[in-house]
């Protein structure tokens, strides 16, 4: 009878190879991430490198072991079955090859299913991907060598049985530490429903409301709050996929005379798309004379992190927030492109002469500030004369910043958050020459939408920021004073819905948009 290998020893060999592969994968991803920072001119000391490497081993390796373990399990079973035909010597090349192919397929599947484009940042380019596949191949080779050297016993030959117990760890994010009011002193009423992922709301001078739906529709509500049955015509062609779609609607300062409104949106295709800005005139049936004023350069792949919020400054210039495209995070430090920046434009889309980088051939003149990840909250505080923005961190590190022209807000050189795998994006939370956030949320609240409350209905909120939370499903009240930001309380948690936008209405009420396939416009008034 042919000799067979004991099951227990095969399992042990599998576990050893899995541990080695998980550790090697963590080491490789850390070094490639640090190399990306060094490519920005950031000096990473040996101490910072070692600290980051050790922390990633503790945080990333266990999660990566689950991902890699699944691919390794199936790949090695398949390789062992094929090895029965190829002979014992075939195992030495089949196992490494299967491990590399299995990990590549797993990366492709996970990146297709995950909400972010690329789960493991090191695999964003071919060099990092190949390095990760090499670690899998080395694990496969180790497994093959260990199995081939195991003592054998007489018995019927069988394929190497590989069994493993895998624990699936969820990345549940706790809610904010702020405490909601036990006895709300407000009433929430539904103004309109049946909106597909509403993103932005703007009031017209006559009391009508414009609402954008992310799939690419612009809707009108009457002054009484009745939703018009048909979307408005004339909206530019929108690239709608994932986070991409139609974003902000903003009436011109002189709307009563010009009838002009501005739209921010994603345009292009999955393989080449941009954040874009267009302007048109509001007619009886929709938009007329629509023209594109600005688009982010260069084009990018994927459908994540566009920014898209807009606000007018007192000098009649327009500020538009942008995102880093997720897989392009290092570009947020390069002013040669628009990625990961906030831009300031004249109403016709041209570059204001006093922009901080205007007239510099090597820089994009539209850039007002840079080093941003994904700015989805923007408001101008007219009482204090300051532009305030908030942006999504990765896993934690959501920020509130006061925006200064020409300033660097750090991403990805500094952050208080971790990558979604638990990996360190950077060793630095603060750095000279980088604006530190006034407040950061760790864990993340996923902020979206923001208003400086200026109404009279809630005097206790006067001058405070009301920040929507997608993850926490609340509105966070934040006060800025003496150069610091403090979260005072959370509101409207009883809704249990993702809050996409928060707007102060002309009458002082607070309007909310819920981010659902059946989204709503809500109005908050005092009891």
Contacts of 117 (CB under 8 A, 6+ apart): 111, 301, 302, 303, 304, 326, 327
Query: CB neighbours (10 Å) of residue 9?
Result: 16
Phi, psi (degrees; rounded to nearest 5) at 200: -150, 150
Q: Which of 274, 305, 440, 476 is catalytic?
A: 305
Specify which residues 266 forms β-bridges with: 275
Active site residue 476: no
As a whole number of Å, the CA-based R_g of the chain is 27
Find out whether 409 and 370 touch, Cβ atoms under 8 Å: yes
Report whether 411 contacts 371 (CB < 8 A): yes
What's the residue count for the chain?
A: 527
What CA–CA distance (Å, rounded) separates 106 from 94?
18
Whether residue 219 contacts residue 210, with contact meaning beta carbons closer than 8 Å, is answered with: yes
Order of strands across the sheet that contains 217-221:
198-203, 209-213, 217-221
Residues 6+ away with beta carbon under 8 Å from 158: 4
What is the C-alpha separation between 509 and 455, in angstroms, rounded?
Answer: 7
Catalytic positions, written as ranges: 305
């Amino acid at each position: 009878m042919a000799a067979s290998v004991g099951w227990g020893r095969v399992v042990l060999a599998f576990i050893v190879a899995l541990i080695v592969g998980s550790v090697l994968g963590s080491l490789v991803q850390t070094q490639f991430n640090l190399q990306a920072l060094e490519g920005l001119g950031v000096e990473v000391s040996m101490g910072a490198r070692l600290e980051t490497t050790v922390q990633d081993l503790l945080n990333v390796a266990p999660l990566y072991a689950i991902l890699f373990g699944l691919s390794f399990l199936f790949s090695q079973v398949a390789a062992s079955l094929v090895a029965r035909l190829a002979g014992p010597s075939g195992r030495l090349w089949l196992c490494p090859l299967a491990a590399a192919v299995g990990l590549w397929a797993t990366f492709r599947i996970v990146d297709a299913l995950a909400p972010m484009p690329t789960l493991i940042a090191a695999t964003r380019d071919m060099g990092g991907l190949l390095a990760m596949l090499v670690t899998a191949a080395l694990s496969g080779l180790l497994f093959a060598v260990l199995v081939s050297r195991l003592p054998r016993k007489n018995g019927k030959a069988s394929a190497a049985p590989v069994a493993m117990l895998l624990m699936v760890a969820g990345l549940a994010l706790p809610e904010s530490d702020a405490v909601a009011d036990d006895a709300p002193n407000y009433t929430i009423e539904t103004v309109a429903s049946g909106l597909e992922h509403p993103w932005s709301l703007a009031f017209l001078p006559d009391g009508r409301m414009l609402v954008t739906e992310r799939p690419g529709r612009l809707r009108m509500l009457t002054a009484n709050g009745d939703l018009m049955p048909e979307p408005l015509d004339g909206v530019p062609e929108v690239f709608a996929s994932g986070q991409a779609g139609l974003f902000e609607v903003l009436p011109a300062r002189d709307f009563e005379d010009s009838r002009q409104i501005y739209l921010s949106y994603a345009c292009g295709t999955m393989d080449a798309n941009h954040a874009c800005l267009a302007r048109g005139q509001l007619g009886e049936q929709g938009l007329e004379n629509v023209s594109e004023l600005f688009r982010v350069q260069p084009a990018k792949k994927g459908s994540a992190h566009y920014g898209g919020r807009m606000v007018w400054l007192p000098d009649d210039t327009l500020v538009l927030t942008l995102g880093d495209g997720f897989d392009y995070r290092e570009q947020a430090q390069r002013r040669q492109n628009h990625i990961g920046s906030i831009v300031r434009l004249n109403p016709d889309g041209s570059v204001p002469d006093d922009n901080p980088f205007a007239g510099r051939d090597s820089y994009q003149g539209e850039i007002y500030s840079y080093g941003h990840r994904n700015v989805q909250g923007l408001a101008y505080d007219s009482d204090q004369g300051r532009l305030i923005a908030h942006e999504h961190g990765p896993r934690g590190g959501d920020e509130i910043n006061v925006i200064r022209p020409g300033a660097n807000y750090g991403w990805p050189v500094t952050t208080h958050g971790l990558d979604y795998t638990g990996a360190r994006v950077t060793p630095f939370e603060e750095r000279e020459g980088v604006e530190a956030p006034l407040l950061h949320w760790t864990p993340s609240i996923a902020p979206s939408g923001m208003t400086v409350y200026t109404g009279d209905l809630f005097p206790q909120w006067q001058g405070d920021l009301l920040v929507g939370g997608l993850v926490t499903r609340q509105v966070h009240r934040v006060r800025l004073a003496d150069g610091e930001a403090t979260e005072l309380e959370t509101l409207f948690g009883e809704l249990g819905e993702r809050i996409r936008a928060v707007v102060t209405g002309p009458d002082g009420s607070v309007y909310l948009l819920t981010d659902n396939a059946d989204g709503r416009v809500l109005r908050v008034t005092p009891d």
